[in-house]
Structure 1
Amino acid sequence: MATRRDITKKYARAYQRADKLEKSRLLNGLVETTGWTRDHARRAIRQALARTGAVAQQKRTPRPRKYSYDALLVLQEVWRLSGAPSGKYLAAIMDDTLARLVQFNELGKVQKRVTAEVLDEVYSMSAATIDRYLKPYKDAQLPVALSGTKPSHILRSSIPVRTAMDGTPNDPGFYELDTVAHCGHTLKGEHLWTLTATNPKYGWTMLRTVRNKAYANVHPGLEWVRTHAPTRVTSVDFDNGSEFLNWAVLAWCEKHQLDVTRGRPYQSNDNAHVEQRNGDWVRKHAFRYRYEGDYEMRLLNELWGLVMQRKNHLLPCVKAVGWKHTSAGRKQRVYDAPQTPYARLLAAHVLDERVIQKLAVALRDVVNALDG
């Protein structure tokens, strides 16, 4: 160990003065000499520098900004008009989306900043760069809203639990269900709720706003989801909220021969797919305001019709397909290439001809509306 400490001290002095490429070479040399992993070798170098007091003397020169201020403003506007997707999704549609916005002069106040050089900068941005440049802009959004889910103690023992470790069922008719409260800053009084249903296998999602969580209002929402789903609903999964865990909803599921599972209380990762849609689809379009009454319910359902057309037909998503190990030995998720939910459904060959024609007409309407 004393010899290893002496060797590490020698490498640490050189490591402190080296550039990025040289640091990688020094790490490899220390790993070969000591038999440590790269993580342990890096940690040993930091500890050696701390013992000698050299850490405080290090001054890291910040990397200069690669992209111009005009490109940043254009990127922010494209991100906002695209529905605030992540960098991975925005990079996949950037070429077509930005070209349409420029062609139809829809960039608003940043239109005058658009030049050939700025367009080249935005087109060349990677997904990680987009996320990094947009982070301060995203952080300025509204805070997290209140949750209206209360664990229900009735019927829980009779419903099987599906956890995040169980994986997603390989069933085209499996849907995760959840509700979002449009309550503003307080849950008191009657306010609207949006029922979210998503198919984790293909990413297809449906939204329907109801008056409240009473079964008399939740039941029409469930029926709407069942009749408008592109694939026949065969099983559902939800959290422990009282809007789902009641005798009436379970009787409805039994009537339509639907298999039922639930997540664990306070474990939102068990319903990760629908929770992600709550944030990316519902909150980013209806925000965190309070909505009440029939008029606002009609407006929200009109909005969801447009959101579903655009998100399901035009915007891609990725699906986890496995795991891999990084060079440092850490597990890392592997995702497939971005595809729209509509394209995934067509590629899976699970739709009948009538549904295919219906979805094709809906896609044509969306494209015509964008071009018009």
Structure 2
Amino acid sequence: EVEAEPGFFECDTVAHCGPTTRGEYARTLNLTCVHTGWVFTTTVRNNAHIHILAGLQSAVEHIPFKVAGLDFDNGSEFLNHAVINWAADLDVYFTRGRPYKKNDQATIESKNNHLVRRYAFYYRYDTAEERAVLARLWPLVNDRMNYLTPTKKPAGYGTDRHGRRTRLYDQPRTPLQRLLAAGVLSTTQQSELTDYRDSLNPAEIGRRIADLQTRLIVLAKAKTEQLYIASIPSALPDVRKGVRVQATTDTPLVSRAVPS
């Protein structure tokens, strides 16, 4: 199967809309290689096909091995003539999941949460300045995930000592280690990637990520909280309409106006 070697990616977008989908807001395009776990993340202005195409083209150019296949959900940002023709021109295998079957894209759905939401939060991003901060954030996050973060992959099923069925995982390895073990890179490519990994400073990457996250909070937190408050209907009575008083046996039901 295509998943048995590097190059088959699951793809999805994450909406940075906050509590409302009204208006224009940024989307983060997220790609994950099923075999190696290699990730590529970039933020685009919205989900118009011209921006999605630009993000996909950037992914193909920056991922250090051939993108052989792309698997999408059924969103119209992916299932359109422009994206399908682009994939055909590059000879990229194009598939889609079944409607309403999120398990068809379990790999990317998990990345949407612990990659995009973990690092970019749930705030609303709808300005050029916020997108610029995200554009600086994702290369750092991708380097941390691809070169420095070991992950486990499901390897099958087994049984525990009580006879219960359990999930089995392989030994934790970074996406780079899985890519090198796959044997699809030339000696020069392997050397370039390992040299780049050795040049990375995990502490410095962490500090820069934290600084950019702080900037995102400054730009978007208050705005998003105000949108949340505006979206919640007030539970207090409207004093301008008066307050109803329960009638007693001898008193008819009246509406008592609240003094101004």
Report the TM-score, using the length of structure 1 for normalisation.
0.53
Aligned residue number for residue 243 of structure 1: 77
From 264, 272, 282, the counterpart of 2:116:
282
Find the aligned partners of 1:353 and 1:252 in 2 and give their Cα distance: 30
Aligned residue number for residue 186 of structure 1: 20
Aligned residue number for residue 92 of structure 2: 258
Aligned residue number for residue 316 of structure 1: 150
From 355, 359, 363, the counterpart of 2:193:
359
Find the aligned partners of 1:301 and 1:213 in 2 and give their Cα distance: 16
Aligned residue number for residue 176 of structure 1: 10
SS of 2:85's partner is helix
Paired residue type of 1:256? L
For each residue in 1:21-59, what CA deviation from the matched residue of structure 2 results, as whole angstroms up to 9, or x when unmatched?
xxxxxxxxxxxxxxxxxxxxxxxxxxxxxxxxxxxxxxx
CA positional deviation for 1:354: 4.1
Residues matched between the structures, number: 206
Find the aligned partners of 2:188 and 2:92 in 1 and give their Cα distance: 23
Paired residue type of 2:37? G
* Contact 1:322-1:334 within 8 A present in 2 as well: yes
Matching of residue 303 in structure 1 with residue 137 in structure 2: yes
Find the aligned partners of 2:115 and 2:44 in 1 and give their Cα distance: 16
**Greater relative contact order, per chain length (Cα 8 Å cut-off, separation 6+):** 2
SS of 2:3's partner is coil
Q: Which structure features the higher share of strand residues?
A: 2
Please tell me the root mean square deviation across aligned C-alpha atoms, in Å: 2.0
Q: Which structure features the higher share of helix residues?
A: 1
Find the aligned partners of 1:249 and 1:339 in 2 and give their Cα distance: 33
Find the aligned partners of 2:112 and 2:186 in 1 and give their Cα distance: 29
Aligned residue number for residue 270 of structure 1: 104
Once the two structures are superposed, the pairs formed by residues 25-36 of structure 1 within 5 Å of their partners are none
Find the aligned partners of 1:294 and 1:361 in 2 and give their Cα distance: 34
Paired residue type of 2:31? A
SS of 2:130's partner is helix
Find the aligned partners of 1:313 and 1:261 in 2 and give their Cα distance: 28
Matching of residue 331 in structure 1 with residue 165 in structure 2: yes
CA positional deviation for 1:328: 3.7
* Contact 1:211-1:297 within 8 A present in 2 as well: yes
5+ residue gaps, structure 2, are 208-260
CA positional deviation for 1:265: 1.5
For each residue in 1:227-278, what CA deviation from the matched residue of structure 2 results, as whole angstroms up to 9, or x when unmatched?
1112201111010111101111100111011111111122111101111111
Paired residue type of 1:298? A
For each residue in 1:299-332, what CA deviation from the matched residue of structure 2 results, as whole angstroms up to 9, or x when unmatched?
1021011111111111110011111123443322
Report the TM-score, using the length of structure 2 for normalisation.
0.74
SS of 2:149's partner is coil
